[in-house]
Chain A
Amino acid sequence: VLTQSPATLSLSPGERATLSCRASEIVSTYLAWYQQKPGQAPRLLIFDASNRATGIPARFSGSGSGTEFTLTISSLEPEDFAVYYCQQSSNWPPITFGPGTRLDIK
């Protein structure tokens, strides 16, 4: 089971965002982060905890291992306000997602 915190994060453009994902059991570094905007499909941002997917800006970074993971957006751009999901790939199938963190404009 994956849990994400906070459920909602309200920040302003230019600020730093820190999103957390916690796994109920050790998943090593087998964790991804996705971004989803309203009416769109999810987009893969980070895989294997800390690797940016193709075309993802450097302001997105991931860290963590074991059960605690963090997605950091160093300086928020207007297009970054979205919902973010973590997904574990340690014991699959099944593939499991966290409940998401909504990043709102303050």
Chain B
Amino acid sequence: EVQLVESGGGLVQPGGSLRLSCAASGFTVSSNYMSWVRQAPGKGLEWVSVIYNGGSTYYADSVKGRFTISRDNSKNTLYLQMNSLRAEDTAMYFCAKRYSGSYRYYMDVWGKGTTVTVSS
């Protein structure tokens, strides 16, 4: 079964750091485009970052320079390193796999999410 499981969320003070993990099963992370998408409490979806199978990475302007997406092929796991955290980064963070049935970018496998709260 294709599955994604996020972990690593928690409460952190403004300016702090956190690393999120997304463990994949049933498919190979390094062979796919993988994204992080977040959702602030009561708000809509916001794309955060993507890593391509070739290793290229892209970020939303709101997190550029503060967040880093990466993967560990040996662990089949995706990561999001979040530094200089702000209150507005408070959200549920989902990892998601690109849908392979289209040449465009859509996401068909999602984890259940992990909650990040930035507060003093």
Chain A residues positioned under 8 Å from B112 (CB to CB): 40-41
Give the complex CA separation of A44 and B2 in angstroms.
15
Count, chain B residues at interface, CB 8 A: 25
Contact with B along A64-98 (1 / 0, CB 8 A): 00000000000000000000010101101111111
Instruction: Take A53-B99, A98-B44, A100-B44 as given contacts and tell me if A48 and B104 are in contact as well, using a CB distance cutoff of 8 Å.
Output: yes
Complex interface residues of chain B between 92 and 109 (CB less than 8 A to chain A): 94, 96, 99, 101-102, 104-108
CB pair A41–B110 under 8 Å, yes or no, is: yes
Contact across chains for A48 and B102 when beta carbons are under 8 A apart: yes
A20 to B96, CA, bound (A): 25
A54 to B101 alpha-carbon distance, docked (Å): 9
Are B94 and A95 in contact (CB-based, < 8 A)? Answer: no
Q: How far is the CA of A94 from the CA of B48 in the complex (A)?
A: 8
Contact of A19 with B by CB under 8 A: no
Q: Which residues of B (29-56) have their CB < 8 Å from a CB of A?
A: 35, 37, 44-47, 50
User: Could you list 28 A-B pairs, sorted by A, with CB under 8 Å?
Assistant: A34-B45, A40-B112, A41-B94, A41-B113, A42-B94, A44-B107, A47-B99, A48-B102, A51-B101, A51-B102, A53-B108, A85-B44, A85-B45, A89-B104, A89-B105, A89-B106, A93-B50, A93-B58, A93-B59, A93-B105, A94-B58, A94-B60, A95-B47, A95-B105, A97-B45, A97-B46, A98-B44, A99-B44
Binding site for A on B (CB under 8 A): 35, 37, 44-47, 50, 58-61, 94, 96, 99, 101-102, 104-108, 110-113
Q: Which residues of A contact B (CB under 8 A)?
A: 30, 32, 34, 36, 40-44, 47-48, 51, 53-54, 85, 87, 89-90, 92-100
Besides A41-B96, A41-B110, A89-B104, 12 other A-B contacts (C-beta < 8 A): A32-B106, A42-B45, A44-B106, A44-B108, A47-B101, A47-B104, A47-B106, A53-B101, A85-B44, A93-B58, A95-B50, A100-B44
